Amino acid sequence: MTFDAHQLDEFVLVGAAVTFLAILAVRASTRAGLPSLLIYLLMGVALGESGFGINFEDAQLAHALGFAALAVILAEGGLTTSWSEARPAMPLGVSLATLGVAVSVTVVAVGSHFLLGLSWELAILLGAVTSPTDAAAVFSVLRAIPLPRRLVGSLEAESGLNDAPTVVLVTLVSSGALQEKSIAEMVGTVGFELAVGVLSGLLFGFGGAWILRRIALPASGLYPIAVLCLAFLAYGAAAAVHGSGFAAIYVAALVLGNSELPHRLASRSFAEGIAWLAQIGLFVMLGLLLSPGRITPEIVGLAVVAGLILTFVARPLSVLVSTVVQPMPWREYAFLSWAGLRGAVPIVLTTIALAADVDGAERLFDLVFVMVVIYTLLTGPTLPFVARWLGVALSSEPRGLEVEAAPLEKVAADLLQVTISPGSKMHGVEVGELRLPTGASVSLVIRGGRALVPEPRTALRTGDDLVVVTPRKQRESTEIRLRQVAVGGRLAAWLDE
C-alpha cells in the first residue's frame, strides 16, 4: 500500500479538522466536569466503521501508537510535577503504584474469575489493565478542585509510576508466561525492569541537565526539543536492555523538570501542548478501534459488575493497604479511593493482548472500553462534590508563581517574571518590604503596559508584572519568599514563624 501526496492532503484536512474540534471540546467537557477523553473516544467511534466509515482494525499499530502517546503523556507529567510538592507524598505514591496495584490486580482477578466466569488468564489481564489510574483523566477533573498538596502529590506520583509495573505484567501474561513462570519469577522480572527503568531515567535526567546547563543553544526553541529528546533517550535506552521505558521516561522528565535549566517554563509549556496532541490522537484512535456492533447487553453487564468490583472493593482496599507506609485521615483515604479514575491507559493496555492474539482479547477490549466510559461518567463529575462533602477541598488555594527562567549565563543569575494575581496579599506591599534574599532585587515593574523602575517605597498592585533578578544559587529561596508574601502579606516572615 502506497501513501501519495493526494492522500497526504486528505489526511491533513481530516486530521486538522478533528484536532481543532477536539480542542474546542475541551471547554465543553470542562464545563460539564467530565474528562475530555470521553468526547475524544466518542469522536473516534463516530469516525469509525459505524459512523463515517473509517475502518481501523490494526491492533499492532494501535499498540505501538498507544505506547508512543503514553510515553509523551508521562514525559509531560514528569516535567510539570514539582518535586518539592511531590516529595512528601512520594512514599504513598510509590506504595499505591506497586503494592496498591498488586492488591487491585488480585481482587479484580479473583472477583472476575468467580463472579464473571472469566478464565484465569483473562481475569488476571482484566485486573492488570484496569488497576493503573490515568493522569490525563484524573487531572483534567482535579485541576478545578483546590486540594491539599499531599493528595495531589500522591495522585501525581501514582499515575506517573503505576503504568510501568502493569505494562510489564500485561506483557508477561499475554506472552503466556503465566503458564511458564512462577509468581516469584514474574515479580522478579517486574522488579528488574522497574529498577533498570529508574536507573536509566536518573542517568539521562541528571546527565542531560548537566549538559544543558553548560551549552548555549542558538535559539530558545531548541531547549524544549532537547529536553523531550533526553526523556525519550531514557525510554529507548531502558527498553533496549529490557527495562521499563515508562518508568525511565517519567523519572528522567521529573529530574529535568525540576533542574535549573534555561527556559524551563517554555519547555513545560511545549511538553503540555505535545501531550494534549498525543491525548487527542490516542483517544480518537482507540474510539476507531471499537466496533459498536460487538457491544452486547452481556458485555455491558460484565463491564458494570467488573467496575463495581474495581470501584467499591479493589480500589478502597488497595488504598487502605498502601497507606500503611503513610497513614492519613479517613476523609483523605475516602477521597483517594474515589479519585482513582481510569482513562486511556486500561484501553491501551488491552491492545497488548490484542496484538498477541490472546484468546478472548477482543471481548476483553470491548468490556474494558465500556467499563471506562461508564465509570468515568460516574466518578468524574462527582469528584468536586465528594471533595467538598468529605471536607478535603480547600476554600482557597494560593496561586503558584509562573516563573520563566531566562538565564544570564555570564553572571550566573536568572530573571524571574512574577504576576500579582487577584486576591494576592502582595497587593499594597512596598518593594522594600519584600525583603528578598541577598543579591535578589525587583528591577522592573510593568503596570498597565508601562514599565516602571521601582524604588523601595513603590507599592505593588494587583495585575503588576515584576521582573526579579536573582543569583542562581538564591533562586529557590527567592521564589519561596515571594510565595510567602503572596500568601501572608508584609508580615509573612512573622506569620510563618
Q: What is the pLDDT of residues 98-125, one digit of tens each?
A: 999 999 999 999 999 999 999 999 999 9
Q: Mind listing the domains of the chain with CATH numbers?
A: 5-390 (1.20.1530.20), 406-496 (3.30.70.1450)
pLDDT for the residue 339: 85
CB 234 within 8 A of CB 287: no
Highest mean pLDDT among 56-60, 129-133, 202-206: 202-206
pLDDT for the residue 256: 93
Q: Is the pLDDT of residue 404 over 70?
A: no
pLDDT tens track for 448-472: 888 889 998 999 988 888 999 988 7
Binned at pLDDT 50, 70 and 90, residue 289 comes out as confident
Q: How far apart are the first and last CA of the chain?
A: 70
CB 294 within 8 A of CB 73: no
Residue type, 47: L
CB 141 within 8 A of CB 380: yes
User: Rounded mean pLDDT of 427-435?
Assistant: 88
Three-state secondary-structure class, residue 318: helix
pLDDT for the residue 229: 95
Q: Is the pLDDT of residue 62 over 70?
A: yes
How many Cα neighbours within 13 Å face the side chain of 487? 17
Three-state secondary-structure class, residue 155: helix
Sign for the pseudo-dihedral over CA of 10, 12, 15, 16: negative
Residue type, 130: T
pLDDT for the residue 400: 43
pLDDT for the residue 334: 92
How much of the chain, in percent, has pLDDT values that exceed 90? Answer: 27
Q: Is the pLDDT of residue 362 over 70?
A: yes
Binned at pLDDT 50, 70 and 90, residue 277 comes out as confident
Provide the mean pLDDT of the chain.
Answer: 84
Model confidence, pTM: 0.77
CB 382 within 8 A of CB 393: no
User: Which grid cell is 170?
Assistant: 500485561
